[in-house]
Amino acid sequence: MTETVPRGEKRVAILTGAGRGIGRGIATTLAERGYNLVVTSRTREDLETTRELVEGTGSEAVVVVADLKDPQTPSRLLRAALDSFGRLDGLVNNAAVNIFAPFWTQPEGNLDEIIATNLTAPFFLCQAAANHWVNKGLTGAIVNISSAEDTIAYPDQVPYASSKGGLLSMTKVLALEWGPLGIRVNAVSPGSVDTEMTPEIYRKQAPKLMPIGRLGTPEDIGACVYFLLSDDAGFVTGTALYADGGYMLQ
């Protein structure tokens, strides 16, 4: 059963990295299925395009241009949700960066940037959302966008893989701690998805290695996120949904 949300009582989610790629696919999918959104990234132009797509579905989107490394960002996003919609039902930590380079050529700055965006920012966003829900006696759901690299290895991506492995571990621990409080925490771990973040060589090779025979789409990931946020996943917490076209079966 998929719940229906009456008009005027739409659920509300915060979505990071919403300006393009997987984030935009998540935004449009959630909007089509009854969510109003607070969307954030560092680029207003990209976010305005996402907002227009969301509003084209009949839902609403509030744009917040922010740097996730700013310690004030979690409170800004929470306040935007409450001021604009009066509620927060879900959090989707999607924003991520990756810098491809052999391990011995990765400077310290790469590691710092990737960990700060991919792991530290979700940590504090989860904390802000959970504090709100607990203090108000509410329930909620969090979906962290991880990667197949939280489990399997690809070359030239040690900082990225490390951040995603940490994100998956954090997902599991938070699910354990917050389950009794009515807060579910899960991850979606995509394989190769057709976005500009995916190198061209992966675009060419990956479909040949996937039993499904194609790259994923941002909307494929959006559908997984919607399920994990929805009441249909009410008995699901602390798990990762691997949306990889079957790649990890080999």
Count Cβ neighbours within 10 Å for each residue of 223-248 and write b for 16 or more, e otherwise: bbbbbbbbeebeeebbbbbbbbbebe
Which pLDDT score is estimated for 4? 40
Exactly one of 35, 154, 160, 247 is catalytic; name it.
Answer: 160
Mean pLDDT for the stretch of residues 21-48: 97
CATH class of segment(s) 11-242: alpha beta
Q: What is the pLDDT of residue 167?
A: 98
pLDDT at 30 over 70: yes
Tell me what pLDDT residue 1 has. Answer: 29
Across the range 136-164, mean pLDDT stands at 95
Q: Which residues contact 32 (CB under 8 A, 6 or more apart)?
A: 57, 59
- Please report which helix (H) or strand (E) contains residue 215, including its range: none
pLDDT at position 178 is 98
> CB–CB of 114/163 below 8 Å?
yes
Question: Tokens 């132009």 — which residue?
Answer: 45
pLDDT of residue 7 exceeding 60: no
Q: What is the pLDDT of residue 184?
A: 98
Told to judge if 160 belongs to the known catalytic residues of this protein, a careful annotator would answer yes
The DSSP 8-state label assigned to residue 17 in this structure reads S
- The domain segmentation of the chain, as residue ranges, is 11-242
* pLDDT tens for each residue of 183-223: 999 999 999 898 877 767 777 777 788 899 999 999 999 99
